[in-house]
Amino acid sequence: MAHTAQKPINWQNFITVVSVGILLGTELIAMAWAAGWALSGLFQLPPDISIAIEIIFVLIGCYAVFRFVRAALRVEPIRT
């Protein structure tokens, strides 16, 4: 089995992608949670349905952050 040498980590790109991922993730997940809470309050939904809507919105927000980080890694590769 051949041993392949791994490329070194580009720390500047790594820090950039992680920092933007944390920033965007915090904002997007908080916005998704707040949107679920606001819609539940607007339509006066029961607490169980309200929590379910909030969870669904947060999961959509997590998926959006995941997709963003994947796209950011294509533009700013960590291993160069």
Q: How confident is the model at residue 2 (pLDDT cuts 50, 70, 90)?
A: low
pTM of the predicted protein model: 0.83
Whether 45 is covered by a domain: the verdict is yes
Whether 6 is covered by a domain: the verdict is no
Tell me if residue 9 falls in helix, strand or coil. strand
Question: What single-letter DSSP state applies at residue 43?
Answer: T
Q: Report the pLDDT value the prediction gives residue 1, as an integer from 0 to 100.
A: 56
- Structural domain harbouring 31: 11-75
State yes or no: pLDDT of 71 exceeds 90.
Answer: yes
Q: How far apart are CA 2 and CA 18, in angstroms?
A: 32
Whether 63 is covered by a domain: the verdict is yes
CA angle, residues 28, 30, 34, in degrees to nearest 5? 115
Q: What is the pLDDT of residues 6-50, one digit of tens each?
A: 889 999 999 999 999 999 999 999 999 999 999 999 999 999 999
Question: Region 56-64: what's the mean pLDDT?
Answer: 96
- Indicate the number of domains in the chain: 1
State the greatest distance between any 2 C-alpha atoms of the chain, in Å, as a whole number.
63
Q: Report the pLDDT value the prediction gives residue 60, as an integer from 0 to 100.
A: 96
Whether 2 is covered by a domain: the verdict is no
Whether 4 is covered by a domain: the verdict is no
